[in-house]
């Protein structure tokens, strides 16, 4: 392990605050394999050993919170959930305590992301000298992302969508890309996306 890089915990931030406009109903409450999307994401973050796991909620927050009530996670409410994803990222980052050396950020609607993938990102942050660890799917850079604590200030000063991808590019040689199959990139934004998953 490189000098200065320790084995403190890696937090998890589950982004689950959006208004689900294209879905027409709250997609966090849709079920896949017997559980809601938000619970599925939070449970996988826990199984990956991320600590603490922070779920950032916004739209219909109390209904979504009820799906997480028995899980050992922290819930943060983003009142600006109708804005860009950076508002939810900032809400989660501000909740991370000093003992966390890094964080892994995942989207609750990317239902094919596994605990093994999350664990690989966390391990790459802790064992190496990367500032950013980014998922790459057949050349497409997308969540989940891992960030070392030293770049939290960069994240908090960035606004808009696509902050993780921008930071991965910005830090160039200090970014590690982990490659997975293109189909793993699937997310659930529309009724058609959901139908493809449930009818597969």
Q: Which residues of the chain have pLDDT under 70?
A: 1-7, 199-200
pLDDT tens track for 134-172? 999 999 999 999 999 999 999 999 999 999 999 999 998
Size (the chain), residues = 200
User: Rounded to whole angstroms, how far apart are CA atoms 34 and 13?
Assistant: 23
Per-residue model confidence (pLDDT) at position 128:
81
* Residues whose CB is less than 8 angstroms from the CB of residue 8 and which lie 6 or more positions away in sequence, other chains included: 99, 100, 101
* Beta-carbon contacts of residue 125 (< 8 Å; ≥ 6 apart): 10, 101, 102, 104, 133, 146, 147, 148
Tell whether pTM > 0.95.
Answer: no
The distance in angstroms from the start CA to the end CA of the chain is 43
Residue 200: the pLDDT is 58
CA-to-CA dists, residue 182 to 26, 138, 151, 186, 188, angstroms: 26, 5, 28, 8, 15
Q: What is the pLDDT of residues 5-15, one digit of tens each?
A: 455 789 999 99
Determine the Cα–Cα distance for residues 143 and 186; give it in Å rounded to an integer. 11
Specify the pLDDT at position 1: 34
């Amino acid at each position: 392990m490189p000098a200065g890089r320790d084995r403190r915990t890696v937090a998890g931030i589950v982004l689950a605050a959006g208004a689900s406009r294209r879905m027409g109903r709250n997609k966090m409450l849709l079920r896949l394999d017997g559980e809601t999307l938000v619970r599925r994401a939070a449970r996988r973050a826990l199984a990956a050993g991320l600590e603490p796991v922070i779920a950032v909620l916004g739209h219909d927050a109390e209904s979504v919170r009820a799906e997480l009530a028995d899980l050992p996670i922290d819930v943060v409410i983003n009142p600006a959930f109708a804005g860009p994803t950076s508002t939810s990222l900032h809400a989660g980052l501000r909740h991370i305590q000093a003992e966390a050396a890094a964080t892994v950020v995942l989207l609750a609607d990317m239902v094919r992301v596994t605990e093994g993938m999350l664990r690989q990102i966390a391990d790459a942050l802790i064992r190496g000298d990367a500032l950013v660890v980014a998922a790459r799917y057949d050349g497409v850079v997308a969540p989940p992302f891992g960030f070392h604590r030293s770049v939290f200030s960069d994240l908090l000063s960035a606004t808009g969508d696509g902050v993780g991808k921008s930071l991965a590019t910005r830090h160039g040689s200090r970014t590690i890309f982990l490659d997975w199959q293109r189909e793993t990139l699937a997310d659930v934004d529309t009724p058609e996306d959901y139908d493809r998953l449930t009818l597969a």
